[in-house]
Amino acid sequence: MTKLRTRVLLILDIAAVLVLTCIYGPWQGFQNWFVTTALSTGSHRYLANILYSDEMIEEIMDRNQALVIEDDSDADLVTFDSSEMYAVNSEYEAQITEHDRNQDYKVFEISGVGYNGWVTVIYDPTRIHLVTSSSSSGAKVSTLASRYNATVAVNGGGYTLGSREKTSSGGLLVDGEVMFESWQTESLITMNNEGKLILTYDSVENLAEKGETDWAVCFEPFLIVNGQQSVFNGNAGGQQPRTAIGQRPDGIIILLTINGRGADGSLGINFSDMTEIFRRYGCINAANLDGGGSTALVINNELINTPVGFNKTGERKVFDALVFY
């Protein structure tokens, strides 16, 4: 009995040493993953402080910085010229461009180290619209897709939670009208009347006054601007479920949806890997949309991905969505 107890205590000691080494030892992989992932959540940032001091968190975040491009995108670079190849090789180009003449979208699965998800290709960007919930408590993306008879729908910008009430976390432009005022310069994702994705640092009030865009949401970071990639060191952004949007010079829109938090074996994706996917498929502009438990992809009224929040699994209500119809 004494020998068994000794063995058990020895195993527990070894396990404790391994755990402490993983958390505080010289190997930085766990530190980078845990802190960046915790701090990129909306309501569970406190988890980082359970294991690390403020000083150590600051040191870890310095190793995982995001150096985001601060230029506006140039609409003239989107020429709608389909005669060139824009993806990094013919295999990726074929995934995007090969489709039936009557096919207005296509979707295919992708996977990488630690993640899986979907690329949704939209061939007519002018048919993408921003829609919002008619209820202050929000609506599921699938509900908004059904309401507008959308072929494709994904979650859009960020939102804040009040007392049972959801509002946009930044300025919001819907159907050319300012729905949520901001009056400050923000990172805005919008599309002009020609179907060109515009990434700009501006206010929704200025966009509405110019009258060149029908919708705009506030979110960040910009991943690629005018073909130039933002730099994301280490695990910048953490591994999370994510939704993002990009556009190629030929006008084709790419929507990226990545599972995370263990859904279907996927841990999620960081900003660096997500940027690389958009580069692979030839996007010259790309931006991150809201993610986490809000990430949802609905195709023909069917929820395709597996949304996972920290307190529940399943589709959650959001404030707005991008729909294709």
- Which pLDDT score is estimated for 16? 46
- CA atoms of 297 and 111, how far apart (whole Å): 16
Instruction: Locate all alpha helices (DSSP H) within the chain, ordered by sequence.
Output: 2-24, 29-39, 47-51, 54-63, 90-97, 141-147, 204-210, 271-280
The residue ranges of the chain whose pLDDT is under 70 are: 1-28, 33, 40, 42-44, 162-163, 310-311
User: What's the pLDDT score for residue 26?
Assistant: 59
Per DSSP, the three-state class of 144 is: helix
Contact call for residues 285 and 199 (beta carbons, < 8 A): yes
* Cβ neighbours of 200 (radius 10 Å): 21
Tell me the pLDDT tens digit for each residue of 152-192: 999 999 998 765 788 899 999 999 999 999 999 999 999 99
| Amino acid found at 152 | V
pLDDT of residue 197: 98
Other Cβ atoms within 10 Å of 237 Cβ, number: 26
Give the 3-state DSSP-derived string for 115-138, with helices as H, strands as E and coil as C: EEEEEEEECCHHHEEEEECCCCCC
Q: Which of 159, 111, 55, 86 is nearest to 268 (CA)?
A: 111
- Cα–Cα distances (Å) from 294 to 46, 223, 290, 297, in that order, read 20, 20, 7, 10
Answer for the pair 200, 194: CB distance below 8 angstroms, yes or no: no
Distances in whole angstroms, Cα of residue 287 to Cα of each of 47, 68, 142, 173, 302: 27, 11, 22, 17, 25
Cβ neighbours of residue 64 closer than 8 Å, sequence gap 6 or more: 32, 35, 36, 233, 234, 235, 236
